[in-house]
Structure 1
């Protein structure tokens, strides 16, 4: 695999004083919230148990690893972020953190998280964590994102690893259920992210990123959202009939997926082209975040609340 060098097209922004908040912003804390939550759900739902201190350490390592990937992503995409309205205020394009500092920060966090995970839990969990950082920072950020409209389809795997890692930290293995937890997020990512990309399409055009709305158009993206929602619904409901989850998860999953499918249908039928008028897309994007939180919370409730 040939990697392209880190872009150097934007003139350096005069350095401004930075503090811990700028370094914290490099970790993409909003994204990390979902990462930590799904990882914790995978850890709690796993059979058996783990000592609370080791469990906390595992979740900490996953959070730090996700932060490392976010920092490396921002190091590499500093010039792209400077061109996009929603990312122009990040620490690197804002001149508050140097690219060299961001690179060192990301690499340092990567090694720390992987080594500590291996020491605290097991080699498999550490290996998956290491691969997830590599996948997001190199495969997705450097290779897929600037080259193909399918970037978010394949790259969705990066965000799907946390529950798998949480499960592996407890059990030391990967079976059908954690694979389904991975598949749910992997299939959820395209409709979730494409809904966002529809109403920020102009940003991606300015940055010359081949996101699906830019390459294939708005109508095609809307059809793709609906098409990818169907296998996501199947994967999300599957743990219940397969016997891996109980009625709490089953009922919650059916209800959530019915609403998600309804919003996806509304997006598919929408004909608006102005971002400010894309209400269906914005509702789907907002609901998709709530969807994942509630779905994984139901999985934990199913594990912790015994029903007669």
Structure 2
């Protein structure tokens, strides 16, 4: 297959901009954005809403390099099946625009840069966690699970849950229960998110022999699993409020609202498991859900939010006290 990739569809860059674009595409930037949002959420929670701007920039840049490294290695490893699937055939490696060995050098450089920045500007724990994220994604998910186990996404989802740990460790130098809860939330969110996509492109996975759950078990069992994981995930998102008390009422309201919509969409898929439009709707919403959930964590952690909530609570308490006094005077009169 590699010979086919090298000879049948090789393309050449015409200028430096195209070279940059090809290497940029290797990093899968659309995936990285969501990872950075979860990293930022971990940092804001750990810093109680007051993050050092320089540390934030360095950590997000390092996270970008680490994720880009992992995604580039994934592109190298999956170049054979990427060539078969029309959706991915024109990625840089299967199209011949970037040679695998050059992509590997690029991935190593990104990983070294990420580790160095986190070690110097944050701490060794954050740097090690970033490297563990790369290793888990490349070795456990891409190499071991993706083509060999129907549970590939369930276990492999842990790779995408490392960023908030990196963010938390960058701020505090350690990992609390709240940090591990963030890890667990993303771990539980990954199967519904990715299985919805897998239902949409089931035939492509079947064509290249990747044993995604819809390919092996069918759409209906997959929809049931999505429903179960969704119901399990929602209560864990609220544990940041109680018993951990890391987030407050603003986050709780946001999490409940977003969770209710997630449950509704998962239920709709459960009723129509073969409807790709419903699966697409759930997939797209799952991305928005995680982005808004993390945004809710950030907003709730801000000192200004605490001041507003406290002031509102004081006014509400005062108003209720006045109301009770008025009612009491009426009855006494």
TM over 0.5: yes
Question: Which segment is superposed worse, 11-20 or 262-271?
Answer: 11-20
Aligned residues: 298
Give the CA deviation at 1:8: 4.2
State the superposition RMSD in angstroms. Answer: 1.5
Aligned residue number for residue 40 of structure 2 = 40
Aligned residue number for residue 190 of structure 2 = 189
Give the CA deviation at 1:9: 6.7
Give the CA deviation at 1:51: 3.5
Cα deviation digits, residues 54-94 of structure 1 (max 9, x gap): 32111110111000001010011101111122212211111
Task: Select the residue among 6, 12, 29 that pairs with 2:6.
Answer: 12
Aligned residue number for residue 284 of structure 1 = 282
Give the CA deviation at 1:161: 0.8
Aligned residue number for residue 97 of structure 1 = 98
Describe the SS at the equivalent of 2:175: coil
Give the CA deviation at 1:216: 1.1
Aligned residue number for residue 155 of structure 2 = 154
Aligned pairs for 1:103-114 (under 5 A) are 103-114=104-115
Aligned residue number for residue 165 of structure 1 = 166
Aligned residue number for residue 295 of structure 1 = 293
Question: Which segment is superposed worse, 235-244 or 217-226?
Answer: 235-244
* TM-score computed with the length of structure 1 as normaliser: 0.93
Distance 1:50 1:285, change over 3 A: closer
* TM-score computed with the length of structure 2 as normaliser: 0.86
Q: Within the alignment, does 1:30 sit opposite 2:16 as a pair? A: no
Give the ranges of 4+ consecutive aligned residues of structure 1 lying more than 6 Å apart after TM superposition. Answer: none
Question: Distance between the aligned counterparts of 1:131 and 1:241, measured in 2?
Answer: 30
Cα deviation digits, residues 1-41 of structure 1 (max 9, x gap): xxxxxx84744142422510100000110001101111112
Question: Distance between the aligned counterparts of 1:177 and 1:262, measured in 2?
Answer: 27
Give the CA deviation at 1:244: 1.6
* Contact 1:9 1:79 (C-alpha < 8 Å) held by counterparts: no
Aligned residue number for residue 4 of structure 1 = none
* Unaligned residue ranges in structure 1 (runs of 5+): 1-6
* Contact 1:15 1:98 (C-alpha < 8 Å) held by counterparts: no
Q: Within the alignment, does 1:69 sit opposite 2:65 as a pair? A: no
Question: Distance between the aligned counterparts of 1:287 and 1:62, measured in 2?
Answer: 24
Question: Distance between the aligned counterparts of 2:232 and 2:4, measured in 1?
Answer: 41
Aligned residue number for residue 21 of structure 1 = 21
Distance 1:271 1:300, change over 3 A: closer
Aligned residue number for residue 199 of structure 1 = 200
Aligned residue number for residue 256 of structure 2 = 254
Cα deviation digits, residues 237-265 of structure 1 (max 9, x gap): 21112222101100000111111011111
Higher helix share: 2
Question: Distance between the aligned counterparts of 1:213 and 1:288, measured in 2?
Answer: 18
Aligned residue number for residue 227 of structure 1 = 228
Aligned residue number for residue 264 of structure 1 = 266
Question: Distance between the aligned counterparts of 1:261 and 1:10, measured in 2?
Answer: 45
Give the CA deviation at 1:103: 1.0
Question: Which segment is superposed worse, 277-286 or 28-37?
Answer: 277-286
Question: Which segment is superposed worse, 238-247 or 153-162?
Answer: 238-247
Question: Distance between the aligned counterparts of 1:199 and 1:182, measured in 2?
Answer: 26
